[in-house]
Structures are given as C-alpha cells and as structure tokens.
Structure 1
Amino acid sequence: MSENDPQISAPHVLNDIAALEALYAEPSAASMSKEVDYLHPHYRAFVEKSPFCLLSTINDKGGDCSPRGDAPGFVQILDDRTLLLPDRRGNNRIDSMRNILADPRVGLLFLVPGVNETLRVSGTARISTDPSLISRFVVEGKAPTTVLVVSVLSVFFQCARALVRSHLWSPDVQIPRSALPSTGTILTDISGGTFDGATYDRELPERMRKTLY
C-alpha cells in the first residue's frame, strides 16, 4: 500500500487536532489526574520492580525504540526527577546514543512481569561517563560503557487494556523460538547469502554467555 492509495489519502488522513479529538470521547478524570512531573512513590515502585523497559529516541528516519533489561531495579532512581540507565554491552551500533546526541528527548516504558499496567516516562537524556555513576552499575565485575541520565518531565501509568488483550504474560500464548526465522537465517537471506548465518547461530549461545556484561 503506497501513500497514494485512496485508503490512506485524503479525506481519510487526519491533519489537525480538532478532527482527531472529534473522533474520541473526552478523557476520563482518572486518565488526566494520573500524570505528574516527578517520580511519585507509587511510580518509583514500578521502576524498582521492573527488569525491562523500552527506550524511545528520535532520529532523521523517524522514531526509534530499543529494549533495555537486567535484574529488577537496573534503572536506578537518583532522585524524584532523575533516572539512571546503564548502557550494557550490545551490538555497538549505539543508535540510541547517536539519536540522543542529536535530540535529547526520550521516552521510557517500564514493564513488570505479571503486571498488566505499565509505566510511561518522558523526559530528556544526557550521556555520562562519570566514574561515580558508572561504578553504581558494575555486574560480574563488568561496568557499562556509559550511563544515561534521564531528566523526568512526565510520568504516568498506562492502563492494563493492551496487555490484557494481548495476554502477554500468559504461557498459553508463548510460541517456540523455532516458529520464527533464526537471527542467522535472517542475516543470510538479507545479505543475499554472503553472511554465514549457520555459524552465527551455532556460536550465538556461547557468545551471548561470554558477552552478556
């Protein structure tokens, strides 16, 4: 479907706030009153219990989103308006870091296993190499390369509907990894066969074990 397809062309595309708001009911009092500009103690609890969050940034192609995860509390609360997020070992593309240098606006979505509400945080981020911050995140003798210092501007919980509809935490909806192409298969096919995906897949478990931190 192209941008010229009548299904996604005018008059079906919304271009102003008034037209958008006309389609939806007024937001409830609860949905408006839950937003604050600091980490309320109830919201701190979500951060402290979360082993996984999504980090959104902005680049010249549009929005970007990257997973972050570790033991619960891996995102530390410096104060009620500041979060610290370590940048653990990854693929060294450093996409999120490049994006933040160009545009510091970020979003975080915290998930807690078994809990259907999520926590949304918006703010701005700086990339720090401060040894006093780095040392807070040493795991198995390994320190992160950098730490994101996130200045909080907005925090609120997202209601449970999306996770309830998706049954995200239900074992019944889990699928075997073999139901999807392996990472090596993807790399082989995208590269037109020039990448040795079979070797990549074979060595991945051990490589992951050695480079987790």
Structure 2
Amino acid sequence: MSTTIDTLEQLQALYGEAHERSLRKEITYLSEPYQALVAASPFVVLATHGPDGLDCSPRGDAPGFVRIVDERTLLLPDRPGNNRIDSLRNIIHDPHVALLFLIPGVGESFRVNGRASISLDPELLALCEAQGKLPRSVLRISVDTCYFQCSKAAVRSGLWDAERHVERTSLPSAGEILKAVMDPSFDAQAYERELQERLKTRLY
C-alpha cells in the first residue's frame, strides 16, 4: 500500500475542508490592518520562480522599508548584496512573487502574492532612499492576494523566545562555512575580519 499522497482527492480526504475564516481572511488588497503589518515589519522573505526552479531570499531594513504606494501596490528596494541577483533574474523570467513578512515579537506573519517588475523610476528610487543612498533598483509589486498567518508556527518554534535563542558561536562561522565548501586554503579568519568591516560600512 502506497504511503505517498499524489492526488488532490487523497489530500482532501486526509485534511478535510479548510476553515472558513482561513479563506475569508484572504483578500485582493491591503486593508488598513494589513498595511499596519507591512509598516511594522523590518524583515521579509521574497520567493521567486525561475527557469531552474524556486528561490527564497531574505530582505531586511528599518520597519517600513517596504513602501506602501496604495492598497494594491508595494515597493521593495534592492540594497547592496552579492550581485548574484537570483531573485531579479527570476522575475525577468516569471513576474509572480510571494512575500512573507515577519515582525519581531509578533506571532502572526503576513503573506502577499503578486507580480513584480524591476523599476529604475527616479521617483520610486527616491521613495526608498535609506541612509542618504538610493537602492540600485526597486521591485514594484502589484498585489494579487494577501492574508495573515496565525501565530501557531511562531509559538511552536519559540521563534521570539529569547531563552531559546541559539548562541552564534555554537555554529560554524560564515568564514568556516565558506572554507568547507570552497577551498581548504581559504582564510576564514581574514574573511571574518573583512565581513565585520563590510557590515559597518557597506550596508547601503
């Protein structure tokens, strides 16, 4: 007997019907409460789809860095990074994106599905200025659907519980990770020193 579910009928039989409230809270625009969640969030995960599959990328800045143009439009600035531009390449291939907003200390998260375009409009760049610097580009995201996720995942994981925070030194450093995947002769300590300097001077 197969233990793999591979039809929608099997899946529906296992889980039953969705709770009505979980369906009704999904809307096609940013309501005032939903706008408040976006404005309070300093961190969002951007999901995109490209010719080689899916990608998920973290984006963060001061709360409100994702600008609300109106109830159907968001702006997501692209700050300096590693120039892989995986997400941007994917958007050229497929404009559909998904956003997951997190707010420190808040159990609920907020999800947006929409379509993005890469803009160099000077007015949009200016709206996303930070620390006196403009982003390289801005994603203009048209909202298709949005809804908030209840706090169960955050509660189960203890995500915001300080007593459950992981001590960074208990895990391999960024330099050690690079050394393991790149080259045994890679100077992990030098990389760590340079990284700390970049984090102070090259965030924008």
TM exceeding 0.5: yes
Counterpart in 2 of 1:77? 68
Counterpart in 2 of 1:7? none
Counterpart in 2 of 1:49? 40
Which of 175, 181, 189 is the equivalent residue of 2:180? Answer: 189
Query: Alignment partner of 2:74: what SS?
Result: strand
Give per-residue Cα distances to partners, 1:147-189, cap 9 Å, x unaligned: 0000100000111100000010010111111111011111111
After TM superposition, the structure 1 = structure 2 runs for residues 96-135 of structure 1, keeping only pairs within 5 Å, are 96-135=87-126
Which of 21, 29, 47 is the equivalent residue of 1:30? Answer: 21
Q: CA deviation at 1:194?
A: 4.1
Moved more, 52-61 or 88-97: 52-61
Query: Alignment partner of 1:55: what SS?
Result: strand
Counterpart in 2 of 1:92? 83
Q: Root-mean-square deviation (CA), in Å? A: 1.2
Question: Which amino acid in structure 2 is aligned with residue 167 of structure 1?
Answer: G
Q: CA deviation at 1:32?
A: 1.0
Counterpart in 2 of 1:5? none
Task: Supply the distance in 2 between the matched residues of 1:25 and 1:168 (Cα, whole angstroms).
Answer: 29
Counterpart in 1 of 2:189? 198
Task: Supply the distance in 2 between the matched residues of 1:152 and 1:137 (Cα, whole angstroms).
Answer: 18
After TM superposition, the structure 1 = structure 2 runs for residues 54-69 of structure 1, keeping only pairs within 5 Å, are 54-69=45-60
Task: Supply the distance in 2 between the matched residues of 1:161 and 1:70 (Cα, whole angstroms).
Answer: 25
Moved more, 112-121 or 53-62: 53-62
Q: How many residues align?
A: 204
Residue 41 to residue 170, structure 1, CA distance change in 2 (3 Å) = same
Retained in 1: the 8 A contact 2:51–2:93? no
Q: CA deviation at 1:58?
A: 1.0
Question: Any stretches of 5+ residues in structure 1 without a counterpart?
Answer: 1-9
Task: Supply the distance in 2 between the matched residues of 1:19 and 1:63 (Cα, whole angstroms).
Answer: 25
After TM superposition, the structure 1 = structure 2 runs for residues 150-169 of structure 1, keeping only pairs within 5 Å, are 150-169=141-160
